[in-house]
Amino acid sequence: AIERTFSMIKPDATKRNLTGAITKKLEDAGLRVVASKRVWMSRRQAEGFYAVHKERPFFDELCEFMSSGPTVVQVLEGENAILKNREVMGATNPADAAEGTIRKEFATSIGENSVHGSDAPETAAEEIRYWFSDTEVVG
Ligand code: CMP
């Protein structure tokens, strides 16, 4: 089925001017960018977005990093978009990521791992709603 998923290009990647290179990998996989904007999120926005992780030992480090520079938030659309996006991203830890994936090619560590993508339909809908209004998503 045609799905929508939420994707973020993280500060380590925007800093290295990789927005285009990462977006090209997503597009080459058949995903369409139907919404996109560059945001420098506040610490509070990062904490809200990653609220499910608030008990994790890396939560502070994660929110500090995500608010340390610009991020590009996107909505991707396509056949099986949620799973497809996760395949193109590769494993969370770049050391475990498969050849040709975004994290294998660009990520430097488990924390600075260049991209985020939703893991399920419910979280995709929630994450899209967190960053975009309906009129900003243009299919
Ligand atoms: P992401 O898909 O954005 O969702 C949660 C993030 O937490 C994850 O990618 C990682 O970047 C980050 N993360 C997971 N484990 C660790 C860790 N051990 N140390 C730092 N960051 C982590």
**What pLDDT, on a 0 to 100 scale, did the predictor assign at position 106?**
98
* Residue 90 Rama label (left phi>0; alpha psi -120 to 50; beta): left
In tens, the pLDDT along 81-127 reads 999 999 999 999 999 999 999 999 999 999 999 999 999 999 999 99
Give 38's strand partners: 72
**H or E stretch covering 6:** strand 2-9
Task: For residue range 117-128, list pLDDT tens digits in order.
Answer: 999 999 999 999
Q: Give the type of residue at 81.
A: A
The pTM (predicted TM-score) of the whole model is: 0.97
Ligand 1 atom with the smallest distance to the CA of 89 is: 2
- Residue 56 marked as a ligand binder: no
Choose which residue among 7, 72, 92, 115 to substitute to test ligand 1 binding: the one with the highest number of ligand atoms within 8 A of its C-beta: 92
Q: What is the mean pLDDT of the chain?
A: 98
- Report phi then psi at 53, rounded to 5: -100, 10
